[in-house]
Chains A and B, each alone.
Chain A
Amino acid sequence: MSDLNKLTIAGARDALRKGEVTAVELTSACLTAIEGADALGAFVHKTPDVANDMAVAADARIKSGDAPAMCGIPLGIKDLFCTKGVASQAGSRILEGFKPQYESTVTSNLFGSGAVMLGKLNMDEFAMGSSNETSCYGNAINPWRRDGSDADLTPGGSSGGSASAVAADLCLAATGTDTGGSIRQPAAFTGIVGIKPTYGRVSRWGVVAFASSLDQAGPMTKTVRDSAIMLSAMSGHDAKDSTSADLAVPDFEAMLTGDIRGKKIGIPKEYRMDGTPAEIEKLWAAGADMLRDAGAEIVDISLPHTKYALPAYYVIAPAEASSNLARYDGVRYGHRATLDAGEGIDDMYEKSRAEGFGHEVQRRVMIGTYVLSAGFYDAYYNRARKVRTLIKKDFEDVFATGVDAILTPATPSAAFGIGEMTDADPIQMYLNDVFTVTVNLAGLPGVSVPAGLDAQGLPLGLQLIGKPWEEGELLNIAHTLETATGFVSKPAKWW
């Protein structure tokens, strides 16, 4: 078999079980692809030795007949996950040189099922960003380019390295995390599939915290089937995360029947926003038609508080981040500034944090500090939490009318150029998440599915939002949409 790095998880799993290929061969193909792709800036810590050892162990396991679905599958791991003995920096200078002494639950689950780690993937610093441009490692680059242009585009963010690596076939799949759209937006920008599970489905233990009531990890894959397989392997109750749900994990792949007859799909009118390109409106309507053709009922719905989601998010996420990032003090781990004679412990905190955190992180820590400070707590933080209650209720009301899932665009545009947004004021960047943050605030599952190309040849995605704990049904609808769109385009290799 050739081009083993281009396989899907499902394809590789079947080939491994039939003995047509070995995990060592798969891993070697991916490592070769990674070596030739430095221009993409996707992998920031490569672990070829670890990968080879894990692949040898996976082959032995497959031979012995004990091969879970992920056994022998080479993956990229977002830098936000703590991986034992392997650099885990969350894309930040403040964690330079940090090597965790333990393994995150998600990577532990994946490696326990035999998956192979190829290395760590680029991301926005502490997952704060929508273009991967806040990373201390430098930019990750989108393998897609506009037709006839050689301008570098962003892969989106914060899971930009993950998206770039999967789209460029450097790995079979990757882990991502999503606090406001950080799996779904980069997936849409790179023509791949990404799902943010229901809050509590996947353990947050060992994932560097950004905003704890919003953060969820999830798979970023080439197909919906692969997301189903990988999500089953990542999920599960974890006593070490007090918000982890004590629920059985279904076999999500077995739920991909392709039968969505009688399902009710809602189209929320509030997601028709000014300035959305006509191409995206058209794609959205086409997606609805495809689901109708597959036997679903399309209904107009209203989520009245949608426009307040982004304002509430930019209180709640920074507030939680300012608390979570208080731990970076230069004492126990991470960067410590060099002090001048006579400088004390406060100087050490202030200098270490100023040197270690980039501007976007500092902005959010300061906003969070402000909205939590005495005198402003009720006006900002408590009000935002009340708005959050109303946003969640909007979804509950819609689901109570029998709606099974909601179809929306994934992003307000296709991938943009490196530097195009960073020169503008930060709000322009924040608007990227306008279709995705509602899902995090309400704790719901959401999946981004590639649905077509724009006039310049760039991928566009549609988002499906599901009911809590109904990832299986959601993935089945996504699978049906994926089949109907017939999206198979890949970026032309330039790197």
Chain B
Amino acid sequence: MALDREDVKNIAQLARLELSDEDIGQYQTDLSNILELVEQMNAVNTDDVQPMAHPTDAVQRLRSDVVTETNQREKYMSNAPAQENGLFLVPKVID
């Protein structure tokens, strides 16, 4: 399926990616070509085929509902780009 500029803008918005005008044109071509490759699979009859989620047939494993981690807040915040008083800083969200 060939995508138009608006399609690419919508996808980028869903993916939270800022694109320049120039990028939009390039991605329009690239993504359309990739979808053309992908659509070759439309030739396969998939009636009554179960979609596969995982290569192994394993069932979801459960663990006991007990605390296994200790509080390591400082460690985990050491990679944060902006923080204050043990909290992540982000631009104002609510006016």
A and B assemble together: yes
Q: Mark B56-95, 1 if CB is under 8 A from A, else 0.
A: 1010110100000000100111111110000010111100
How many residues in B have their beta carbons less than 8 Å from beta carbons of A? Answer: 52
Residue of B nearest to A381 (CB): B51
| B51 pairs with A389, CB closer than 8 A | yes
Indicate whether A390 sits within 8 Å of B44 (C-beta atoms), given known contacts A200-B58, A242-B61, A344-B93: yes
| B16 pairs with A443, CB closer than 8 A | no
Interface: A435 (CB within 8 A): no
Interface: A427 (CB within 8 A): yes
- Identify the stretch in A164-172, A326-334, A413-421 within 8 Å (CB) of chain B at 4 or more residues: A326-334
Cα–Cα, bound, A97→B18 (Å): 23
Interface: A388 (CB within 8 A): yes
| A239 pairs with B63, CB closer than 8 A | yes
| A245 pairs with B56, CB closer than 8 A | yes
- Identify the stretch in A24-32, A42-50, A225-233, A310-318 within 8 Å (CB) of chain B at 4 or more residues: A310-318
Cα–Cα, bound, A304→B92 (Å): 55
Interface: B2 (CB within 8 A): no
Q: Mark B11-49, 1 if CB is under 8 A from A, else 0.
A: 110111111000000110111011101111111101001
Indicate whether A333 sits within 8 Å of B79 (C-beta atoms), given known contacts A311-B38, A314-B38: yes
A residues in contact with B54, CB < 8 Å: 199, 213, 243, 443
Indicate whether A311 sits within 8 Å of B46 (C-beta atoms), given known contacts A332-B79, A354-B19: no
B residues in contact with A339, CB < 8 Å: 91
Indicate whether A332 sits within 8 Å of B38 (C-beta atoms), given known contacts A242-B61, A305-B44, A366-B12: no
B residues in contact with A425, CB < 8 Å: 29-30, 33
Q: Mark A240-281, 1 if CB is under 8 A from B, else 0.
A: 001101000000000000000000000000000000000000
Interface: A370 (CB within 8 A): yes
Q: Mark A98-141, 1 if CB is under 8 A from B, else 0.
A: 11010000000000000000000000000000000000000000
| B79 pairs with A443, CB closer than 8 A | no
| B17 pairs with A350, CB closer than 8 A | yes
Interface: A296 (CB within 8 A): no
Cα–Cα, bound, A242→B62 (Å): 9
| A308 pairs with B40, CB closer than 8 A | yes
| A366 pairs with B52, CB closer than 8 A | no
The one of B31, B77, B81 in contact with A363, judged by C-beta atoms closer than 8 angstroms, is B31
| A345 pairs with B72, CB closer than 8 A | no
A residues in contact with B40, CB < 8 Å: 307-308, 311
| B49 pairs with A199, CB closer than 8 A | no
| B37 pairs with A330, CB closer than 8 A | no
B residues in contact with A369, CB < 8 Å: 11, 14-15
Q: Report which residue of B15, B35, B58, B60 has the largest number of chain A beta carbons within 10 angstroms of its beta carbon.
A: B15
Q: With contacts defined as CB atoms under 8 Å apart, how many contacts are there between chain A and chain B in the complex?
A: 171
| A311 pairs with B41, CB closer than 8 A | yes
Cα–Cα, bound, A334→B43 (Å): 42
Cα–Cα, bound, A382→B51 (Å): 6
B residues in contact with A333, CB < 8 Å: 79-81
Interface: A387 (CB within 8 A): yes
| A350 pairs with B81, CB closer than 8 A | no
Cα–Cα, bound, A385→B44 (Å): 12
Interface: A448 (CB within 8 A): no
| B79 pairs with A426, CB closer than 8 A | no
Q: In residues 352-384 of chain A, which contact B (Cβ within 8 Å)?
A: 353-354, 357, 359, 362-363, 365-367, 369-371, 373, 380, 382-384
A residues in contact with B33, CB < 8 Å: 425-427
Q: Least Cβ distance of A99 to chain B in Å?
A: 7
Indicate whether A367 sits within 8 Å of B52 (C-beta atoms), given known contacts A332-B88, A348-B90, A387-B46: no
| B18 pairs with A354, CB closer than 8 A | yes
Give 9 new A-B contacts, CB below 8 A, not counting A366-B15, A385-B51: A213-B54, A213-B55, A336-B82, A350-B16, A371-B38, A385-B53, A387-B44, A425-B29, A425-B30
Contact sample, A vs B, 15 pairs, CB 8 Å cutoff = A329-B16, A333-B80, A334-B79, A336-B82, A344-B91, A347-B18, A359-B26, A362-B15, A363-B30, A366-B17, A367-B35, A385-B52, A388-B52, A390-B44, A392-B55
In order of increasing CB-CB distance, the 4 nearest A-B pairs are A443-B55, A385-B51, A333-B79, A336-B81
Give me the interface of B with A, judged by CB distance under 8 Å: 8, 11-12, 14-19, 26-27, 29-31, 33-35, 37-44, 46, 49-56, 58, 60-61, 63, 72, 75-82, 88, 90-93
Give me the interface of A with B, judged by CB distance under 8 Å: 97-99, 101, 199-200, 213, 239, 242-243, 245, 305, 307-308, 310-312, 314-315, 322, 326, 329-336, 339, 343-351, 353-354, 357, 359, 362-363, 365-367, 369-371, 373, 380, 382-390, 392, 425-427, 430, 441-444, 468
